[in-house]
Amino acid sequence: MGRELLRRLELDRFLEQRLPNGREEIPWSAMAMILILGRPCEPSSELHLAEHLYEASAMSDLLGVPEEKVNEDRLYRALDTLLPHKKALEKLLKERLGELFDLDYDLQLYDITSTYFEGQAEGNPQAQRGYSRDHRPDCKQVNIALVVSRCGMPLGYEVFAGNRHDATTLEEIVGHMEELYGRAGRVWIMDRGLASEKNVRFLRAGGRRYILGTAKNSLRKFERELLSENWKQVHEGLEVRLVPAPDGEEVFILCRSAERQAKEQAMHERFEKRIEEGLVKITASCSKRRQKAGVVERRVGRLLERNTRAARLFNVQVEVHAQGFTQLRWTKVESWREWARRSEGCYLLRSNVIDWTPEELWRAYVQLTEAEAAFRVHKSDLQIRPVWHHREHRVGAHILVCFLAYVLWKTLAASCRQGGLGDEPRQVFEELCEISLVDVILPTRQGVEVRKRCISQPTEHQRILLQRLGMRLPIALEQA
């Protein structure tokens, strides 16, 4: 199946034409295809791929590379030959995916994630400690910026240093994508981490259109509108309200989600209860023995830090009496509680696309979940993390292989949709993985054994899946 997807995307032809041919016994194009095909089948290190996965798969039969010729060193050098062709690969995929699936490039969904290293990666300047989406602040990392279409098809990516702030990456990624796809008619969609005022000015200065998330505190400017009754329901449990900007060049979209409201209210109540219980314990300890004010202040600080969602509800004071003992006093800020209740479940979008309805703007923004889904596949099904390579160019090549494997994944998903199989390639993939390759040993009267490699007979259900996907089992191998 993976081999057929490579053919449809013409990746096999591209690799054969672009990767240099020298005196190598095994073409680099074949080694690169082994890397790409191995990633969705059983994501692992190059060593595991060479010593275990390759010989247990049908790749040697499909690619014509003997098992003994595949080793860790050849795979590493194949990574080195692949990386310089990143831009050309992105251009090819743009053309082929557009031809195969009639993609619409009107929305460009941009998001950033991180992936961490095993080891110190001291020779890699991009390996830095920063905000870890993997909850591994102890590890160095790189940031990966990905752009996908409205259906989640990958359009391009860039790798940045692990300590680089998200907002500083926009100009580079926009320039890269406009080089591939042009500027006309594109709408950039990003979450609040990328929506700095500098980035907004950059987008507007270039005549680019955008739909952006904003920080939660931006809602304060729209307190009166939140109290208004002029809301429109665009989805079950979701209301929106359009607020034009004074200059007429932007609109703000107030969104209110019943599900998010219930979630945020429960969180506020839970954190409020934790803080109150913690303050009671600290007060009790102060009454039992004398404690230094600095110690009590640090305990209070840690308590509020662990429960930041409701920390601003409490006004806490540490008092030191003349007799030398410390007393804790606190009150609740009811004005903050009122605002919290009023804004629970609400979030704010901003856009300079002023000719769309509130529903169209909201539906376009929530397509960002496609970028988030792409990262989940990279980290779970393709296991892009942890990164075992330390050299900068090898790390870049590893990420490129994962990107190409994800393109295969999304190509399978799009083929499933075309074939009426839904939009969940994982189930189809797992079902077809049951088709196995077996070695059949046939004894002869002369005492010589004849070994034949055969494909197991697919079930009726598997036959239907293959037919819907427009795929056939390799004719070069006889069926058992």
DSSP letters spanning 277-324: HHHHHHHHHHHHS---HHHHHHHHHHHHHHTGGGGGGEEEEEEE-TTS
Q: Is residue 224 part of a domain?
A: yes
Statement to judge: residues 294 and 154 lie in one domain: no
Residues 148 and 172 in one domain: yes
> Is residue 334 domain-shared with residue 189, that is, in the same domain?
no
Q: Please check whether residues 201 and 298 belong to one and the same domain.
A: no
Domain count, the chain: 2
Residue 168 confidence (pLDDT): 96
Domain-located, residue 431: no
In a domain, 288, yes or no: yes
Average pLDDT of the chain to the nearest whole number: 92
List CB contacts of 242: < 8 A, sequence separation 6 or more.
251, 252, 253, 254, 358
Residues 302-332 as b/e (b if ≥16 CB within 10 A, e otherwise) read ebbeebebbbebbebebeeeeeeebebebee
Answer yes or no: do 337 and 365 share one domain.
no
Mark out the alpha helices in 57-103 (DSSP H runs): 59-63, 72-82, 86-101
pLDDT under 70 in the chain at which residues?
322, 475-480
Q: Are residues 232 and 268 in the same domain?
A: no
313: left (phi over 0), alpha (psi -120 to 50) or beta: alpha
In 81-220, DSSP assigns E strands to: 107-116, 141-148, 154-161, 187-190, 209-213
Residue 1 in any domain: the answer is no
423 assigned to some structural domain: no
129 plus 177 within the same structural domain: yes
What is the span of the domain harbouring residue 222? 103-250+352-390
Domain identity same for 272 and 163: no
Q: What is the CATH number of the domain that holds 377?
A: 3.90.350.10
What local confidence, expressed as pLDDT, does residue 475 receive?
57
pLDDT reported for residue 56: 87
Q: What is the pLDDT of residue 477?
A: 54
* Domain boundary, last residue among 333, 365, 390: 390
Query: How confident is the model over 191-221, as pLDDT tens digits?
Result: 999 999 999 999 999 999 999 999 999 999 9
Q: Are residues 209 and 296 in the same domain?
A: no
Name the pTM for this structure.
0.89
Query: Per the domain annotation, does 135 fall within a domain?
Result: yes
Contacts of 164 (CB under 8 A, 6+ apart): 128, 130, 143
Identify whether residues 147 and 173 lie together within a single domain: yes
Task: Examine the domain organization and report whether 110 and 235 are in the same domain.
Answer: yes
Question: Does 182 reside within a domain?
Answer: yes
**Residues 218, 132 share a domain:** yes
Is position 378 within any domain? yes
